[in-house]
């Protein structure tokens, strides 16, 4: 990876596999300290970036004399001495519930015992020019209003300009030329600028959204997942990547269904094979939403009774099972691919993205993927999306890494198990979003440049 000449220094807390590090290095930053507890993440991080800086396995080694003893907090002066000077502090911190106690001791005291409190201690000691924190979208949701207020008030109390309104963004809304990626991954970003820094006004969210320019310049339906996928000729025939025989049977049955049922537009509501009945099976204990779905399925069945009856009698796989023999969750099917297949013509599952969910099989257009999660729910891509492919398979770690902006070489040579790689990528930050947002924060991107870019982005 080519690096620019260092123009600023940063520390990388809760570093994971280095999403912040990749982004800030590309902007010209130099990492002077990193911190990550997970052993497998540390293996990947060190293999990627080397060991030219201190790498701590627990943030509380920087803030406490004894890790498990909250009464042994280090002094601000001590923390200042052991942590290198830096311009920007960054990290995707875990967010534990904050206590409502301690209000008489000040807002900061509400965060005691949480990992956010350790970040606060470091900011207070080192007083960096900027900080850049990342978390799940729910942190700024209606259920966490008090937590959000505590975070913002605490950071402002340290002498920083921080926006009251959360900055929430997803890489699939950012154009490819600006580092976007076809993954729906809403995250909340907390940005701070020290009060004496001139560009603090950039934290106005209207300006930030104009600079991010995702929604204004890019239609996410233009993404093509196939561009990120490798030919199956280059994929080891590992069982972990390809769907099981049972899953293949479920997909074969539902593929036959969508191909052959003479319906121009498939329903948007979940189709339940067990609810294809003349009279919906309803009892008084059912939730309103389930009653509604059963009624809709019953009407749909009545309109297509001849085909559905034939389909439900068909037998699949070596064991010759019917759809009624499928697990309950695999009798549920959600068609969310109308944009890609608006009519019956050439309708199939084989050029779509599939998710095996506890709530059923969900299929989507091959434009952008749901957020990466653990391997058990990793998205499955149809064979028509890849070269020389005949089977449905999951993304490989290299392909999943591309959704997070991680260079291919990080996972080409297996440093950790495939399961660990999926877990890491599911918890990682998206490099493109971090680079774009950090570049705005540091004053490296400007509104005028983006207005010009708007005119030529899709040229």
> Mean pLDDT, the chain, as a whole number?
87
Domain assignment present for residue 386? The answer is: yes
Does some domain include residue 152?
A: yes
Catalytic residue among 31, 35, 41, 95, which? 95
115 and 74 within one domain? yes
Question: Residue 68 sits in a domain of what CATH number?
Answer: 3.40.50.150
Domain end marker among 376, 394, 412: 394
Distance CA 5, CA 306 (A): 70
pLDDT one-digit tens code per residue, 422-434? 999 999 999 999 9
Average the pLDDT over 95-124 and give the result.
69
* pTM score: 0.87
119 with 83, same domain: the answer is: yes
- pLDDT, one tens digit per residue, over 196-247 is 887 655 555 555 555 565 445 678 999 999 999 998 887 776 778 889 999 9
Q: What is the mean pLDDT of residues 113-132?
A: 93
**Is the domain of 205 the same as that of 257?**
no
Residue 107 counted as domain residue? yes
Residue 39 within any structural domain of the chain: yes
Tell me the C-alpha distance between 213 and 450, whole Å.
8
Per-residue pLDDT at 209: 58
Residue 122 has pLDDT above 70, yes or no: yes
Beta-sheet strands, E only, within 137-272: 160-162, 167-169, 187-194, 271-272
Looking at 371, 394, 417, which one is the last position of a domain? 394
Does residue 165 lie within any of the structural domains? Answer: yes
One domain for residues 213 and 239? no
Last residue of a domain, one of 394, 418, 440: 394
Q: Is the pLDDT of residue 407 over 50?
A: yes
Q: How many helices (H) and strands (E) does the chain have?
A: 15, 14
Q: Does residue 101 sit in the same domain as residue 188?
A: yes
| 95 counts as catalytic | yes
Asked whether residue 63 falls in the same domain as residue 140, the answer is: yes
Domain check: are 172 and 260 in the same one?
no
127 in the same domain as 42: yes
Residue 418 confidence (pLDDT) above 70 = yes
Which residue is associated with the tokens 């204004």? 216
pLDDT of residue 101: 45
In a domain, 75, yes or no: yes
State the Cα angle at 354 between 350 and 359, rounded to 5°: 140
Query: Looking at the structure, do residues 130 and 260 belong to the same domain, yes or no?
Result: no
Q: Does 399 map to a domain?
A: no
Domain match, 246 and 105 both: no
381/216: higher pLDDT = 381
Q: Which domain holds residue 203?
A: 8-222+429-456
Classify residue 243: in a domain, yes or no: yes
Residue found under tokens 């311009």: 87
Q: Of all helices (H) and strands (E), which one includes residue 413? A: none
Specify the number of domains making up the chain: 2
């Amino acid at each position: 990876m080519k690096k620019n000449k260092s123009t600023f220094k940063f520390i990388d807390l809760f570093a994971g596999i280095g999403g912040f590090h990749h982004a800030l290095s590309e902007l010209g930053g130099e990492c002077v300290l990193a911190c990550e507890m997970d052993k497998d993440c540390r293996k990947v991080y060190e293999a990627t970036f080397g060991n030219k800086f201190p790498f701590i396995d627990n943030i509380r080694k920087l803030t406490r004399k004894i890790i498990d003893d909250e009464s042994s907090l280090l002094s601000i002066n001590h923390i200042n001495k052991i942590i290198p000077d830096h311009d920007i502090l960054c990290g995707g911190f875990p967010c534990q519930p904050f206590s409502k106690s301690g209000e008489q001791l000040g807002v900061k005291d509400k965060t005691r015992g949480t990992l956010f409190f350790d970040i606060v201690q470091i900011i207070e000691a080192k007083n960096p020019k900027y900080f850049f924190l990342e978390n799940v979208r729910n942190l700024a949701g209606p259920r966490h209003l008090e937590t959000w207020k505590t975070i913002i008030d605490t950071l402002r109390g340290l002498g920083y300009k921080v926006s009251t309104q959360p900055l929430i963004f997803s890489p699939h809304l950012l154009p490819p030329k600006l580092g976007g990626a076809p993954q729906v991954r809403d995250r909340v970003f907390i940005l701070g600028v020290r009060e004496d820094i001139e560009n603090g006004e950039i934290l106005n969210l209207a300006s930030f959204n104009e600079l991010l320019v995702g929604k204004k310049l890019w239609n996410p339906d233009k993404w093509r997942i196939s561009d990120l996928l490798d030919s199956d000729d280059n994929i080891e025939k590992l069982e972990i990547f390809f769907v099981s025989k049972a899953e293949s049977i479920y997909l074969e049955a539902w593929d036959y269904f969508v191909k052959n049922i003479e319906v121009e537009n498939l329903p948007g509501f979940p189709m339940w094979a067990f609810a294809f009945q003349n009279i919906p099976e309803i009892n008084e204990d059912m939730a309103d939403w389930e009653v509604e779905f059963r009624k809709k399925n019953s009407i749909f069945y009545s309109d297509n009774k001849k085909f559905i009856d034939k389909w439900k009698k068909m037998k699949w796989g070596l064991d010759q099972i019917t759809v009624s023999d499928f697990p309950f969750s695999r009798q549920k099917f959600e068609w969310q691919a109308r944009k890609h297949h608006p009519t019956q013509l050439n309708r199939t599952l084989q050029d779509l993205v599939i998710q095996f969910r506890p709530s059923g099989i969900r299929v989507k257009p091959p434009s952008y993927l749901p957020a990466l999660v653990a391997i058990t729910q990793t998205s499955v891509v149809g064979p028509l999306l890849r070269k020389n492919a005949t089977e449905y398979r999951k993304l490989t770690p290299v392909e999943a890494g591309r959704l997070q902006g991680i260079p291919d070489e990080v996972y080409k040579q297996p440093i950790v198990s495939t399961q660990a790689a999926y877990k890491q990528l599911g918890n990682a930050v998206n490099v493109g979003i971090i680079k774009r947002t950090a570049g705005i924060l540091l004053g490296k991107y400007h509104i005028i440049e983006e207005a010009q870019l708007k005119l030529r982005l899709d040229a």
